[in-house]
Amino acid sequence: MNRGASGFGLRASGFAIACVLLASGSARADPSDYDPMSHAWNGMADFVSLARGDGLDIDAVSTLEWDSLGADDILFLVYPLQRVDPGRLSAFVQAGGQVVIADDFGESKDALAALGLLRADVGTPHASRYFGNHLFAPIATPRLQHPLTEGVGDVVTNHPAVLRDVQGATEIVGFDDGAVVVAGERGTGRFVAVSDPSIFINQMQRVPGNLQLATNILRWLRRGEHAHVTLLRGDVPMYGEPKPFIYDPHGGAVGHDVAELNQWLFAAHEWLLTATAMKALAAALAAALLVLAMIALPVRRGPKIDGAWLRFGRPARRDEPHGLVASAERDAQRTAVTRGRDAQRTALGSVTRGRGAAPLLVIACMLRDQVQAQLAAVTGRSEPLFTLPEAELVALVSNARGTPAGVALARVHRRLRALPSRSQAAAPWSASSTLARRDFDTLYRDVAELCRTLGAPLSEAA
């Protein structure tokens, strides 16, 4: 059905529908409202015939047992007068149930909120058009392409509520300031919320858009050839709990465990504590945190008082034997560096194996000088680490040795420039005469990678 057909149908039955709209303004108290067996203007016999004609069984129930609903059932709630439990409805959909909630001012508001829908019961919806220019009969239109909107043109409503702040669902048909039909999925189930149950009464089903919408809803929710509609309307009590698994086409043991966990988390989300229980829980949590803090924090003990702090400790003399030996080793390493790369590799190899006596900062300076010499050979510039900007030096190296060499230089450039001179690093009075072993190892690996990309790799002595 298209919009032209919809408009023709509206004009053809306009007078009768207008009478219904005017009469139904106070029809909420009529016990015959939405009677599935009634052929009166406010009954639902035409909708029942529509469902059966499409191959669905349909039954109106006087009580609802949640655990009696299976994978082939479509639960159709029409203007319920007993509160629909939000937890049970959400669990039913999450487990794979299919449900339609057609309610404007009944007791499904909390259940709709649990599905992410806010039902605004106050005020008249704002629409671009009104049936017969009656403000109580706004005309809703499709919002997007969806299986529920196929062939649907105008949807005429009667004193509808509005669904707003829709989260986790899709607005299917609506007005300027909200939706009248919303569809969504939770877990393996689907739901459709309609904020005007009058759409499904006999007289309103004569509107082509309303009739096509009802057909699309049933077909979208239908699962299998033996689908069954359980119709609940008015003051019908609901008992029990939904089945934990209703429709699970891809499930197994793990899927069932995950579904049970999700159901438990949702139930926990619904649980409300009293003020006394909240205070007791807060006290228990505070006690647990205190115990954990006592276990985790170390027990601090003061230093042993032995009078050692009263003794004067003089600095080591520079002419003591061990000092002379260390100085001689440093001088020997400096001499070895000036004689060639092989001697330097021996010193570096001994340090990396933990046998060297020279400070790590001095060895780092030696690495810096080695890189300085290689970069000077590549770029043809004197001391390029200090005479050229970083970007220019990286560009020169990339052009000469390739992009990997430039990347390796950029990774280590700032750390090499931050090193002091070798004499400052070796001075015992220098505040920067130490370098953490972890920082040295990282610097050594990065320098070795740079030297390899420059064509002169470092090697440790055997």
The token duo for 125 is 């919806």
pLDDT for position 260: 62
**pLDDT over 80 at 88, yes or no:** yes
Residues 204 and 208: their CA atoms lie apart, in Å, by 9
Between 427 and 173, where is the model more confident?
A: 173
Rounded percentage of the chain residues whose pLDDT exceeds 90 = 39
Between 329 and 11, where is the model more confident?
A: 329
pLDDT band at 355 (very low <50, low <70, confident <90, very high): very low
For the ranges 140-154, 232-246, 341-355, 448-462, the lowest mean pLDDT is seen at 341-355
356-365 pLDDT, tens per residue?
A: 435 788 888 8
Between 5 and 199, where is the model more confident?
A: 199
pLDDT for position 295: 86
Span 44-70, average pLDDT = 94
pLDDT for position 187: 87
pLDDT for position 262: 65
Closest among 180, 192, 186 to 217, alpha carbons compared: 192
pLDDT for position 12: 43
pLDDT for position 296: 82
pLDDT for position 362: 82
136-160 pLDDT, tens per residue?
A: 899 999 999 999 999 999 999 998 9
Where in the chain is CATH 3.40.50? 3-270
Closest among 385, 363, 386 to 374, alpha carbons compared: 385
**pLDDT over 80 at 343, yes or no:** no
Looking at every residue in the chain, the average pLDDT score rounds to 80
Residues 353 and 73: their CA atoms lie apart, in Å, by 75
Between 296 and 265, where is the model more confident?
A: 296
For the ranges 35-44, 245-254, 268-277, 337-346, the lowest mean pLDDT is seen at 337-346
**pLDDT over 90 at 37, yes or no:** yes
pLDDT band at 326 (very low <50, low <70, confident <90, very high): low
pLDDT for position 126: 85
pLDDT for position 9: 42
CB–CB of 163/117 below 8 Å? Answer: yes
Its pTM stands at 0.53
Between 390 and 309, where is the model more confident?
A: 390
pLDDT for position 25: 46
**pLDDT over 60 at 161, yes or no:** yes
pLDDT for position 248: 75
CB–CB of 393/413 below 8 Å? Answer: yes
Residues 363 and 383: their CA atoms lie apart, in Å, by 19
247-266 pLDDT, tens per residue?
A: 876 655 666 566 666 666 65
For the ranges 10-24, 155-169, 202-216, 409-423, the lowest mean pLDDT is seen at 10-24
Query: What is 3-270's CATH topology?
Result: Rossmann fold (3.40.50)
Span 375-383, average pLDDT = 88
DSSP character at residue 147: G
φ/ψ bin of 450: left (φ > 0), alpha (ψ from -120 to 50), beta (otherwise): alpha
Span 284-301, average pLDDT = 83
DSSP character at residue 354: T
CB–CB of 56/227 below 8 Å? Answer: yes
